[in-house]
C-alpha cells in the first residue's frame, strides 16, 4: 500500500498516506519498508524532513540486511554532526528495544 500511495498506482498519489502505510510495515519488521520510511524522512515526503529519523530507520533496515539502507545511512551521515549520529543510533536502539513500536 505504501508503494501504491507513493507512486499513485491505482490511487491518488499521497505521500502522507504512503508514509503511514510504510511505517506500519516498518514496525512489523519489513526491512524494505524501513528503508523507504528513512527515505521519506530524508526527503520530507509525507513527514517532516528529519535526517536523524532517516538515519535511525536506515540503521534499523541495514541491521536487517538492507544494503541500500546502509549506503543511504552513510550518505546522510556526511551531513550530520557526530552528536546527531550518536543520538540517531540511540533512537534506533530504543526503537528496536521497543519492538519497533512508536518509532
The CATH number covering residue 57 comes to: 1.25.40.10
Whole-angstrom distance, CA of residue 57 vs CA of residue 26: 9
Q: Which domain covers residue 40, as residue numbers?
A: 2-97
pLDDT of 102 over the 90 cut: no
Confirm whether 103 is domain-assigned.
Answer: no
Please enumerate in sequence order all residues whose Cβ is within 8 A of that of 75, keeping only pairs 6 or more positions apart, or say none: none
pLDDT by residue (tens digit) across 25-69? 999 999 999 999 999 999 999 999 999 999 999 999 999 999 999
Computed over every residue of the chain, the mean pLDDT equals 96
Are 42 and 72 spatial neighbours (Cβ–Cβ below 8 Å)? yes
Are 51 and 41 spatial neighbours (Cβ–Cβ below 8 Å)? yes
Amino acid at each position: 500500500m505504501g508503494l501504491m500511495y507513493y507512486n499513485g498506482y491505482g490511487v491518488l498519489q499521497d505521500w502522507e498516506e504512503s508514509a503511514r502505510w510504510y511505517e506500519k510495515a516498518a514496525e512489523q519488521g519489513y526491512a524494505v519498508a524501513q528503508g523507504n520510511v528513512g527515505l521519506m524522512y530524508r526527503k520530507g515526503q509525507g513527514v517532516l524532513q528529519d535526517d536523524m529519523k532517516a538515519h535511525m530507520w536506515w540503521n534499523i533496515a541495514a541491521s536487517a540486511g538492507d544494503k541500500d539502507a546502509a549506503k543511504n545511512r552513510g550518505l546522510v551521515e556526511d551531513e550530520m554532526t557526530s552528536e546527531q549520529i550518536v543520538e540517531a543510533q540511540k533512537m534506533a536502539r530504543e526503537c528496536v528495544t521497543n519492538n519497533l513500536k512508536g518509532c
